[in-house]
Amino acid sequence: MSMNEDATLKPVAPDAPRHTPDGTTPDGTTPDGTKLAPGDATVIGLLLVSAFVVILNETIMGVALPRLMTDLGITAATGQWLTTGFMLTMAVVIPATGYVMTRFKLRNIFAVAMTLFSIGTAIAAVAPGFELLLVGRIVQASGTAVMMPLLMTTAMTLVPPAARGKTMGMISVVISVAPAIGPTISGIILSALSWRWMFIIVLPISLIALGLGLWKVKNVTTPRPAHLDVLSLILSAVGFGGLIYGLASIGEAAGGHAPVAPWIPITVGVVSLAVFVWRQFALVRNSTPLMDLRVFANRSFTVSTIVLVTSFMGLFGTLITLPIFLQTVLELGSLETGLLLLPGGAVMGVLSPIVGRLYDRYGPRPLVTPGAVVVSGALWLLTTLHVGTPASMIIVVHTLLSIGLAFMFTPLFTSSLGSLRTELYPHGSAIVSTVQQLAGAAGTALFVTVLSTTTAAAGGTLIEATEQGVQAAFFYGGVISLVALALSLLIRRPPLVPGPRVPVH
């Protein structure tokens, strides 16, 4: 498909596949190639709900930090590990999910993931102190790490290519909206209840999801023998874990609170990842790699993934910077802060399925490029925030940012994974989920570091200094958004050629 063809708003009509007397095609889809086979919608629906519940917990602790510092007698640097530890665990576990989804049945993977999440939630709910609370968060994250690659791989396996945009739109709600509204939900809970209720409320929901999953989820993939390379697992844990830890420590180092110099874990992480990459390519020749990096030979996958990285850097950087501005400069409370960010998350949730349908009709680039323009414009507008900025303007700009991201996430997820061969879906899903965690950590580190260093160097009152720090942080976010805008012009739609249906067992 040429650049002009992709950029033109012309509906793409897939060839109608042959169908059987029962109304489905030989690969299990409906005659028009746009609907799921019977029962598959239930499987994906349960995975969507379950994934939303678990991903929501990634950012739910941020607003609770002041309360936890008082109740548990800990410092901010210590309390931050409840979020950093969650991200670290995700980064360590996700690379192994490609192997897990190749080797084991979907139903069993789902059961283990939701059981781990439920156990971790229960531990956190009754934790008497910080140490056990951190253990609960780590166990939670172990289950969470499996859910997103599992959901994306299942969707790519079951959904015909002509209808993937709609389904990936729903997945985008999970991936982007759940973290975005985490602070809002925790703010609402903390306004009336103790921090334990953030886990007490989630526990029965996760148990119900587990029960329904054991009842309804079927095995839609065919497990096959796969070798688990232990050395690769260790290298990925040290590599991704070192990078996440180092990036998370940059902000602490800027404030003089980091336990170790950030360059040490970052260097260890980079070196370990270099060896990890070398080993994956070596294993391709005579064994099964932990992560099949041949997916990056696909141009569409690579470009889409890079644009996703820059987008998630902007999202997570904004999620941590805006609350600081609202609470320090405008002197708002945690509940008010959460409610001000709610409209943006709600708009993103409403738009994502709509954008998915537009993707099915028009392809990715007519959506991604305008979305990148809107995101860039919103980030540059945020560089003008000051003590006199009305809350209404912040709501408008944050909602504008959310609209732009909604137009980017769904097409990018769909075009990246849709460009791969069926057997590479588990590895592609694992890689996308891993770089999402790295991008979140990198965006948070960049924004916090710029904010902290600028605030420390600025003169005047704390409010004036923080104002300058926030403006500087969003300036760098604006620069990064220009990279995403330029690369968005290279996005192409994957071919609408359905792959073979995987037998159900």
Q: Which residue, 246, 310, 305, 302, is CA-closest to 476?
A: 310
- Is 4 inside a domain boundary? no
Q: 140 is written with which tokens? A: 């939670």
Count of domains observed in the chain: 1
CA distance 339 to 349: 15
Contact 205, 395 (CB under 8 A): no
- In which region does residue 4 sit, left (phi positive, over 0), alpha (psi from -120 to 50) or beta (all else)? alpha
- Is 498 inside a domain boundary? no
- Is 7 inside a domain boundary? no
- The type of residue at 6 is D
Q: What is the CATH number for 421?
A: 1.20.1250.20
- Is 9 inside a domain boundary? no
> What does the angle CA 418 – CA 419 – CA 422 come to, to the nearest 5 degrees?
70
Query: What confidence score (pLDDT) does residue 114 get?
Result: 92
- Is 15 inside a domain boundary? no
- Is 493 inside a domain boundary? no
pLDDT tens track, the chain, 505 positions: 344 434 333 444 433 333 333 334 444 444 445 566 667 778 888 888 888 888 887 777 766 777 787 888 886 667 777 877 887 788 788 888 878 888 888 888 889 999 999 999 999 999 998 999 999 999 999 998 888 888 888 888 788 877 778 787 888 777 777 777 777 788 788 888 888 999 999 899 999 989 988 887 777 667 777 778 889 889 988 988 888 788 777 766 655 566 678 888 889 999 999 999 999 888 887 777 888 888 888 888 999 999 999 888 888 888 778 888 888 888 887 778 778 888 888 888 888 889 988 988 888 889 999 999 999 999 999 999 988 899 889 999 999 999 999 899 888 888 888 888 877 888 888 888 888 878 887 887 788 888 878 888 877 788 888 899 899 999 999 999 999 999 999 888 876 554 444 433 3
Range of the domain at 68: 30-488
Which stretches within 201-262 are classed as H helix? Answer: 202-216, 230-254
Query: What confidence score (pLDDT) does residue 496 get?
Result: 58
Query: What confidence score (pLDDT) does residue 272 get?
Result: 93
- Is 496 inside a domain boundary? no
CA distance 113 to 13: 38
- Is 17 inside a domain boundary? no
Task: Provide the 3-class DSSP secondary structure of residue 25.
Answer: coil
Contact 480, 314 (CB under 8 A): yes
